[in-house]
Chain A
Amino acid sequence: MNASPEEPLWEVFVRSRRGLSHVHVGSLHAADAEMALRNARDLYTRRREGVSIWVVPAAAIEATSPDEKDSFFDPAVDKVYRHPTFYDVPEGVEHL
């Protein structure tokens, strides 16, 4: 038995409620975007998990590779001054 041609893979992002971003929830197969949206609705929001859905062809996603991890992300490690907790606030000073 030969593998039948599989439909393209889509990555699914769901906004769980207004005010929040779309978050990646998983993937699914569909022949086209319209069916992908419908399949995503049935698969990932059966329990009212969402108010909005994005589907993106998995093939369209560019990602950083773990090899690039050091050059991409480590330079941010030593810039602690970007975080408010880096600074000492004298006692009694509020709203800062």
Chain B
Amino acid sequence: MSPLENYLLALADDALISSQRLGWWISRAPQLEEDVAMANIGLDQLGQARALLTLVGETTGQSEDELAYLRDERDFRNVCLVEREQSDFAVAMTRLLIFSTWQHELYGALTSSSHPTLAAIAAKAVKETAYHADHAAHWVLRLGDGTDESHRRMQAALEAEWPWRDELFDNTFLNEPDLNVAPHDAQLMVDGTAVDPATLREPVERRLGAVLDQATLGVPEPRVVFSKGRDGRHTEVMGYLLSEMQHLHRSHQGDTW
């Protein structure tokens, strides 16, 4: 796998797995309007994943479905944040706030990628993720500054999810160990294809901090979690997520749908 394929897969898998989790909410949201909203966001993310997987497939010779359905858990490159269980609305909105804000900064920077297709995908995604981040921020505000109960649940969700965001800024997966090149000197970064995830930390955290502040929520104390999804070392729930997502496709290998 080339460094570019590895990078694109990371972005694709983030979007794909996040979308898979959001899909669960359709028919389970707190109000009907929110069923529609969460489906919209899930659809946008699925669209991003498909565009990126298709781009990966151009060089690996695989279809988007082969990449989504026939890779094993260890080959998925998404951050652990997006695969975690999220059957609580506060958790779902916390996750969406963190992930979409990060995605928005990322795609904003990638619009000037030297890779024309990636820049085009980013140009579309930057508009979508702006809306996702805004939607999540509106809910975090309402839950944080709503009732005592919603404040408590929102703060608890934040405490649980916050540490998992660190992996979004981790650039070590872009190492080129054979060449003994540090991540920020990796060819992808030097030639302007990719964006160094580490550079996104400052703008993302500033935006998150502003939302939490307005929502009367406290920024959680730093806490380290073992989050190595970019290296294919996922949490145990990932296996169940993939077995559900992939089983039908895998049961009829080679068939079209």
Contact = CB atoms under 8 A, between A and B. Distances in A.
User: Taking the complex as a whole, does A directly touch B, i.e. does some CB pair lie under 8 Å apart?
Assistant: yes
B135 interface: yes
Interface residues of A, number: 12
Determine the main DSSP class of B at the interface with A. Answer: helix
B16 to A, nearest CB: 22
Contact of B138 (A7, A28, A35): A35
Contact of B37 (A29, A34, A38): A38
B47 to A, nearest CB: 14
A31 B142 contact: yes
Contacts of B33: 28-30, 35, 39, 42-43
A82 interface: no
A18 interface: no
Interface in A61-80: none
Q: Which bracket fits the contact residues of B? A: under 10
A39 B40 CA distance: 11
A46 B37 CA distance: 10
A41 B70 CA distance: 36
Given A38-B134, A43-B33, 5 more contacts: A30-B33, A38-B37, A38-B135, A38-B138, A42-B37
17 contacts: A28-B33, A29-B33, A30-B33, A31-B142, A34-B138, A35-B142, A38-B37, A38-B134, A38-B135, A38-B138, A39-B33, A42-B33, A42-B37, A42-B40, A43-B36, A46-B36, A46-B40
